Structure 1
Amino acid sequence: MSSLEHPVEMLRRLSRIVVQYGNDVETYGGRANLLMADVTEAITARDTAHHTTVMAETELSTWMRSDEYSQWIAGANTDATSATLLARNERYRDSATTAQDSLAQAEETLTEAWMAWETQFSFWDDAYARAVASLAGVDARFDGSSDSGTVSNPADPNLTRLADADTPEEVAAAWDSLSDAERERLAATYPEFVGNLEGIPYEYRIAANVAVLEEASETSWGDPTDTEIEKLLIELNRKGGLPVSLNLFDKNQGTAALLYVDGVTFDPDKLSDPLAGVTNVSVLVAGMMSQLNGIGDWGGSAADMNDYIAEAGGTGATIVWFGYDSPNFATEPSTAQAVVGAETLTGFLRGLDQAAPPNAVTTVIGHSYGSTTAFLAVGSAADNLGVDNLIAVGSAGLTDHALGTDPDARVDYSGTNVFATTSPDDALARIGRLSPHPIDPGSIDGAVSFDSDGGYTPNLDGSEPTWEQHDGTPLLNTPGHGTHSEGTIPLPWDQPGGYLQDGSESFANIIGVITDGEPVTTPGGFGSQNALQG
């Protein structure tokens, strides 16, 4: 009996196909819906131009049929001077010509808008073909021969094989079996699929996502999408932020994951594994109200992390993960978005574990609701997803219910080192725990709590800083719930010291965990608020 004959396995395969098709519908359907607004606007502009042209041509025709025009053309005497009639004639003709040109331009714009919409709709149609082709492989009794593709894009067996793979390892094996030419064809034909499939090597995913991003930049989608595309291109071209996943048109919000590695930039003519030789892999998981248009500060933190790892003798690869629909103040008390986000993050971390060097140390840092999501993903997995260190900063609280349908299943962080911090000035994190995710990550058995309220790094001789000697680096207090200089409440001035900002005690301790396995400051140490209050 083959594994697919087992009903549970068949249902699992069906579920994966449906989820993939749903993602494709969100991507291409979302684009098509946005472009339909352009079509509607172009139709209105065309109709307006047509009306203007009809009026201008009617005025010209009326003028040319008038007695005054006939007399003037015949050289007869007229009440108006010849110069006046010449000017009138030119005005009518110029108006008609201008209107006709505007109409032609409006019709061309409408044609282009329809073509752009039809392109996205055809991608949607192709996604349906891929889903049907995948269904045909689930059970031999399913006859998909009559509906296994489209006229323009028949079912693609190599694509189907990739879509049917169960794990990143199986995807990698299927990809490795393809020729270079076939890989290039699949990436060019299905860039959204290749760019987001765990198990396909990162260099191919990055190239596919860059192609999608650059193509999307050629069309105006309106905000926030246009601004998000602009910010992602800045990260790519100026800071080396490589898109290892990308979905600009998710129905809720655009999502992406950007990879930063020192000295690695995107070169379409020379694809290479960006994780080769990496010793430390870090993933920053964004929290409540995180949007792609704010990804720049996080990219700066990623670069800073890599710099400190290099100073410690390692090679860092840091990923900024804005890969889920983050909650707002109204929806934050629920765990619903954490569950969906954790399911997505689970797949991403499994793919990362397969792609990263086997001896690399992996650290996941979740801020606010991002910690709710990250801890749920790692704690629900039997194999901890390859995560060595799990850090919560300004956590909105955790749930102990594991992912899945078993109401009695509980999270388990065995095999993962857990760290946590919450600034004394971060009231928002504590308010977030007055909810169905009430658990302080610092209360987990074996968790190590570190300070984020200011202080000093160890003295130059390695001793603890004291009033008498504190020649280490001064560290900032985190002044609220923010990750960088935003604080808790937006103010017209910077509020430095955010959890992920270089120079804060929180960030210094995160670096200590990544490079040495432990925080660098002692709780309540010299210079901290606790010490000063004591």
Structure 2
Amino acid sequence: MNLVSPHRGYPLERIEGNSGSMETWVGTFDRIAKDLGDLRDRAHRVAELPGVGDAISRARSDAQVIAGPVRSGIVDAQLLSSVLSAYADAYSAHAVPANRMIEEIRNAHAAWESAAGEAEQAGLKALWSSRSGPDDEATKANDDARDAMATADAAKKALDELWTSWETLYTSWDEAYDKALSSLVSGASVYLTNEEKALLDQLLAANDPAAVWQLWNANPALRDALADHYPDIIGNLDGIPYDVRAEANLRRLKELHNRLQFLSEPQKSEVAALWDEVEKKNGKLISFDPDGSEQTTAALWYGPFDAANVSTLVPGMLSKVNGIGEFGKSARDLIDGTGDAAVAWFGYDSPEVPEEPFMDRAQNGAPALRSFLLGLDAQPGSRTINVIAHSYGSTTAALAIGSAADGLGVDRFITVGSAGLPDDAQVLANLQSPDAPRIYATTSANDFWAPVGKVTGWGHHTDPASLDGVTTFDSDGGVDAAGEPLLATPGHSAHSGVNFPGQNAPGGYLLKGSESFYNVREIVRTGEPGTEPGGEGSEKGYWDLVAEGMSQGGYGLGY
């Protein structure tokens, strides 16, 4: 039985290929390109030999004659290697799993056909019974028909889901195949000279973002080739200038957005969210990795790249790139009317609810944030660097910033609704060293989960407000400098929501109009909160009422 997919009309047949064989040929072409590159370098050295005389002249002439064809051979070998390597990756990522699904689809199709036939027979029996059979027999026949139709519908739904997944894989493979053919025809190879390859190797081996910055700026003639051919590397390498990274990542995002309808969730909603921020909100995509982590990671920059005051917003538990727009709005509101810049940094795999008590996600995410902050500090010029972290984001940020006594160049570390800082003695000592950033902290009296997270967490019990020299600020209402009322943060959320599912109210920690956000903005702008603790307009919250109940001999809140 020859089946075709219902939406795209692809034939359900095996995609032929052998990943191992393709990788072997990639290695062969790479060796040929390297050997030819060495030969070309020797020819160039011969062509530059000093001296006079027929022998020297002939040698220089022969070397020049050799150099031309050798360079052409290098281009051809690297073209074949790069095209075959890209296609081999696509074959493994898309064709192999598509091939695995063929038998499953055939079985599901047969199951649906069988169920549909049984449903048709049950329907005919129900129709016959309703006309000529006893009432109880007609009732049973109708029930059997409904059950059979439900079974057929479920089989059809299962088949449709398989077809959708298979079509997505087949489409991706088909596009990769077309791209490979097009590259071979046009000669659009990933061709790098030996000098360009050497620079790429040096960039990847650099000890820190400052070294990356120096290498990049010391080799202006080699940079375009690397950015053109390796946007996935250049777009995510800390120390590379942000305008170069943004351009490289935008190209990759456009490629995905152009085939948005063929992407599966959650990538479809993630690409759409990033596209909205880039196209409509003037965000610059300074990092983007849709493949390398458990979650898609990304960072959006708002404001000028040469801003003298830059804030990085770090989200907490359950933060995914498809929700980056909320943090993007906070970033834009933070810099509105200023010449500052802000970054929505979704650069780590945030924890799910069962993972929040543990340090694993923070330990995995802190090196990425550390590298990003070092890269920010390595850019030319002086600037004030602020880190604003919500919930578990403060755990991750503290681990990164506290990895060095100088705080990685961070000037202000602002925690909102912290889930607890790491208990590591060296991290805490670094956070309180003379060169550490100034630390600020707030926890709303309505926030049920932040105090619970500090108590129940394994390895992150430390309340930032307990550290020496920390400036605490309110998030429980109050008024701004003009006397206008500010919202109390009603729960643990950064933007909207209270503490439990189904609850919703404005005033999140990073939502414009809340006392928390007003204070964060003033800290970024002036170094000090904008409201007085317990000042005019402050409201009592959940934990205030608990404390009152305890002080009166009860258990708080009437129980």
- C-alpha distance in 2, partners of 1:207/1:161? 22
Q: Of 497, 508, 527, which residue of structure 2 is paired with 1:486?
A: 497
Q: Of 232, 237, 244, which residue of structure 2 is paired with 1:192?
A: 232
- C-alpha distance in 1, partners of 2:87/2:501? 35
Q: Of 373, 377, 397, which residue of structure 2 is paired with 1:374?
A: 397
Do structure 1's residue 443 and structure 2's residue 457 form an aligned pair? no
Cα offsets for 1:166-217 (capped at 9, x unmatched)? 222221221112235x322111111110001111111111111111111122
Do structure 1's residue 518 and structure 2's residue 528 form an aligned pair? yes
Q: Quote the RMSD (CA, aligned, Å).
A: 3.6
Change in CA separation of 1:233 and 1:383 when aligned onto 2, cut-off 3 Å: same
Do structure 1's residue 275 and structure 2's residue 311 form an aligned pair? no
Change in CA separation of 1:247 and 1:403 when aligned onto 2, cut-off 3 Å: farther
Do structure 1's residue 230 and structure 2's residue 265 form an aligned pair? no
User: More deviation in 370-379 or 411-420?
Assistant: 411-420
Verify the 8 A CA contact 2:405 2:430 in the aligned structure 1.
no
1:521 maps to a residue whose letter is T
How far did 1:530 drift? 4.3
Change in CA separation of 1:29 and 1:223 when aligned onto 2, cut-off 3 Å: farther
How far did 1:109 drift? 9.7
Q: Of 278, 302, 307, which residue of structure 1 is paired with 2:336?
A: 307
Unaligned runs of 5+ in 2: 1-85, 111-165, 181-188, 549-559
How far did 1:29 drift? 11
Cα offsets for 1:100-141 (capped at 9, x unmatched)? xxxxxxx999986435567999xxxxxxxxxxxxxxxxxxxx
1:185 maps to a residue whose letter is A
Q: Of 403, 422, 426, which residue of structure 1 is paired with 2:447?
A: 426
Summarize the alignment of residues 173-192 of structure 1 with structure 2, pairs less than 5 Å apart: 173-180=214-221, 182-192=222-232
Verify the 8 A CA contact 1:42 1:110 in the aligned structure 2.
no
Verify the 8 A CA contact 1:367 1:394 in the aligned structure 2.
yes
Verify the 8 A CA contact 1:401 1:411 in the aligned structure 2.
no
1:178 maps to a residue whose letter is N
Summarize the alignment of residues 376-391 of structure 1 with structure 2, pairs less than 5 Å apart: 376-391=399-414
- C-alpha distance in 2, partners of 1:111/1:221? 12
Verify the 8 A CA contact 2:257 2:271 in the aligned structure 1.
yes
Do structure 1's residue 259 and structure 2's residue 283 form an aligned pair? no
Cα offsets for 1:479-519 (capped at 9, x unmatched)? 00111123333437x51000000000000000111111100
Do structure 1's residue 250 and structure 2's residue 274 form an aligned pair? no
User: More deviation in 290-299 or 246-255?
Assistant: 246-255
1:506 maps to a residue whose letter is S
Summarize the alignment of residues 287-326 of structure 1 with structure 2, pairs less than 5 Å apart: 287-307=316-336, 310=338, 315-326=339-350
- C-alpha distance in 1, partners of 2:333/2:346? 18
1:488 maps to a residue whose letter is N
- C-alpha distance in 1, partners of 2:390/2:418? 6
Between 1 and 2, higher relative CO (CA 8 Å, sep ≥ 6) is seen in 1
- C-alpha distance in 2, partners of 1:205/1:427? 40
Is the helix fraction higher in 1 or 2? 2
How far did 1:437 drift? 0.5
- C-alpha distance in 1, partners of 2:321/2:533? 34
Counterpart residue number, 1:143: none
Verify the 8 A CA contact 1:186 1:194 in the aligned structure 2.
yes
2:418 maps to a residue whose letter is S
- C-alpha distance in 2, partners of 1:28/1:372? 41
How far did 1:340 drift? 1.4
1:508 maps to a residue whose letter is Y
- C-alpha distance in 2, partners of 1:437/1:32? 44
- C-alpha distance in 2, partners of 1:46/1:331? 36
Change in CA separation of 1:109 and 1:473 when aligned onto 2, cut-off 3 Å: closer
Unaligned runs of 5+ in 1: 1-26, 52-106, 122-149, 262-273, 461-471
2:341 maps to a residue whose letter is A
How far did 1:30 drift? 9.8
Counterpart residue number, 1:22: none
Q: Of 364, 367, 388, which residue of structure 2 is paired with 1:343?
A: 367
Counterpart residue number, 2:115: none
Verify the 8 A CA contact 1:39 1:113 in the aligned structure 2.
no
Verify the 8 A CA contact 1:378 1:413 in the aligned structure 2.
no
- C-alpha distance in 1, partners of 2:393/2:446? 19
2:446 maps to a residue whose letter is D
How far did 1:335 drift? 0.8
Counterpart residue number, 1:39: 98
Counterpart residue number, 1:145: none
1:229 maps to a residue whose letter is V
Q: Of 424, 433, 441, which residue of structure 2 is paired with 1:401?
A: 424
Counterpart residue number, 2:18: none
Verify the 8 A CA contact 1:172 1:199 in the aligned structure 2.
yes
Change in CA separation of 1:367 and 1:28 when aligned onto 2, cut-off 3 Å: farther
1:209 maps to a residue whose letter is N
Change in CA separation of 1:32 and 1:111 when aligned onto 2, cut-off 3 Å: closer
Verify the 8 A CA contact 1:400 1:411 in the aligned structure 2.
no
Change in CA separation of 1:452 and 1:45 when aligned onto 2, cut-off 3 Å: same
How far did 1:255 drift? 0.6
- C-alpha distance in 2, partners of 1:30/1:375? 38
Cα offsets for 1:35-71 (capped at 9, x unmatched)? 34773489679989xx9xxxxxxxxxxxxxxxxxxxx
- C-alpha distance in 2, partners of 1:108/1:477? 49
- C-alpha distance in 2, partners of 1:218/1:167? 35
- C-alpha distance in 2, partners of 1:291/1:283? 16
Cα offsets for 1:447-503 (capped at 9, x unmatched)? 011110101123x4xxxxxxxxxxx121000000111123333437x5100000000
SS of 1:256 mapped into structure 2? strand
Counterpart residue number, 2:387: 364
SS of 2:402 mapped into structure 1? helix
Cα offsets for 1:11-47 (capped at 9, x unmatched)? xxxxxxxxxxxxxxxx999987763477348967998
2:218 maps to a residue whose letter is S
Do structure 1's residue 211 and structure 2's residue 251 form an aligned pair? yes
SS of 2:342 mapped into structure 1? strand
SS of 1:511 mapped into structure 2? helix
Change in CA separation of 1:37 and 1:454 when aligned onto 2, cut-off 3 Å: farther
Do structure 1's residue 241 and structure 2's residue 283 form an aligned pair? yes
Cα offsets for 1:400-442 (capped at 9, x unmatched)? 31689xxx98654543110000001111111111222101101
- C-alpha distance in 1, partners of 2:519/2:87? 42
How far did 1:397 drift? 0.3
- C-alpha distance in 2, partners of 1:28/1:364? 41
Verify the 8 A CA contact 1:35 1:221 in the aligned structure 2.
no
1:282 maps to a residue whose letter is S
Change in CA separation of 1:111 and 1:375 when aligned onto 2, cut-off 3 Å: closer
2:283 maps to a residue whose letter is G
Verify the 8 A CA contact 2:394 2:421 in the aligned structure 1.
yes
Cα offsets for 1:195-241 (capped at 9, x unmatched)? 01111111111111111111122343300011100100000000011
Question: TM-score when scaled to structure 2?
Answer: 0.63
2:305 maps to a residue whose letter is L
SS of 1:380 mapped into structure 2? coil
